[in-house]
Amino acid sequence: MKTTYSFKIRFSEVDAMRVVWHGAYAKYFEDAREAFGEEHGLGYQWIEDNGYYAPIVDLTFHYRIPLRYGMHPVMTIIYRPTEAAKIVFDYEIRDREGGDIVATGHSVQVFMNLNYELILTNPPFFEEWKKRCSKDV
């Protein structure tokens, strides 16, 4: 499953070298996860409503071409199924005009209950979501 998310580079996101500050990529990936959640029914509020949090435990970026002010990139976020109690995504940002890959990335989220205790098995609501989504593919 995947979602495509378009965004524009704001002036406040560029650094002294006139390229996007590396820390902005974490926000772009977060925005993509929210877009994915809205499209596929895996939103943060829904996770919390089911009694869990899903914190990030691993987040990586690989930069290839600088993003610059005024660009309108397109990001694809891809859900990677796993048997483990994790939510795993891969990301690819492309320049809309040239189609070049600008950056790629990866994130892993785990489950914690509302007492901030790590959950080592898939919560029932997530198992149901995975079954429902596997039928939609």
Q: What is the DSSP string of 20-52?
A: B-TTHHHHHHHHHHHHHHHHHT--HHHHHHTTE
In this prediction, residue 136 carries a pLDDT of 59
Average pLDDT of the residues in 95-124: 96
Average pLDDT of the residues in 111-119: 97
Per-residue pLDDT reduced to its tens digit, 42-100: 999 999 999 999 999 999 999 999 999 988 999 999 999 999 999 999 999 999 988 89
pTM summary value: 0.92
Measured CA to CA in angstroms, residue 33 lies from 44, 54, 61 at distances of 9, 12, 15
Per-residue pLDDT reduced to its tens digit, 3-40: 999 999 999 999 999 999 999 999 999 999 999 999 99
